[in-house]
Amino acid sequence: MNAKHHPEIGAHLRQAREEQGLTLEMLAEKSGVTLNMLGQIENEAVNPTLATVWKITRALGVELDALLKGGTQPLRRFAITHSDDVPQLATSEDGPSIRVLSPLDMAEALEIYMLDFEPGAVLDSEPHAPGTEEYLTVLSGTITVHVGGRKAHLHPGDFVIYNCDLHHTISNPAGEPAQLHMVVRFPERSWS
């Protein structure tokens, strides 16, 4: 499907790009659309497909519909993952049950998990990319976190932030199950 029925799409794309201080080269790198194609679109010399325009609007972070109408409204997200659709990661036999709450397109940017630890369960993790952080909130039970030479025993309602670019371990030393909520935030350079 082509987007040509919007005769000013090139001008709208140029406006959105310039408002963000982006050159055509920068937008080509962010969007995966060639520099030549972007130039032709902005000059109304080609009839771009809707898929191509969609790639460009995603790179600009603007709503497709708004851009086609001449606006540069920021991209607004409203995505639901129902509990039946939440993927579960396999861990070792003595590891926790890990449910991935965040959408796949957020991987290596911001990842959100729910972890269930049976008594004695351990999540042993190798270092992540430099600058990566984990945010843990204990919902029930007791857990122990080891990061580098530091150690903390956490209880329901406790919250911890740590750099996880070191070897780190989360374990349940207690005799009752534990549940925690984890957010992993990667350095911004890996978000693009």
Quote the tokens at residue 74: 């920021």
- Please tell me the pTM assigned to this model: 0.60
DSSP per position, 95-140: SPEEEE-S-GGGTTTEEEEEEEE-TT-EEEE---STT-EEEEEEEE
The string of pLDDT tens digits covering residues 113-137 is 999 999 999 999 999 999 999 999 9
Strands 97-100 and 150-154, bridge-based pairing: unpaired
Quote the tokens at residue 156: 């329901």
Instruction: Say whether pLDDT at 3 is over 60.
Output: no
Q: Where are the domains of the chain?
A: 9-68, 83-190
For residue 72, the model assigns a pLDDT of: 61
Q: How confident is the model at residue 184 (pLDDT cuts 50, 70, 90)?
A: very high
Strand partners, 99: 88, 114
CATH, range 83-190: 2.60.120.10
CA–CA separation, 73 vs 92, rounded Å?
46
Topology of domain 9-68, CATH: 434 Repressor (Amino-terminal Domain) (1.10.260)
The string of pLDDT tens digits covering residues 20-48 is 899 999 999 999 999 999 999 999 888 88
Helices 24-31 and 35-42 cross at an angle (nearest 10°) of: 120
Overall average pLDDT of the 45-65 stretch = 84
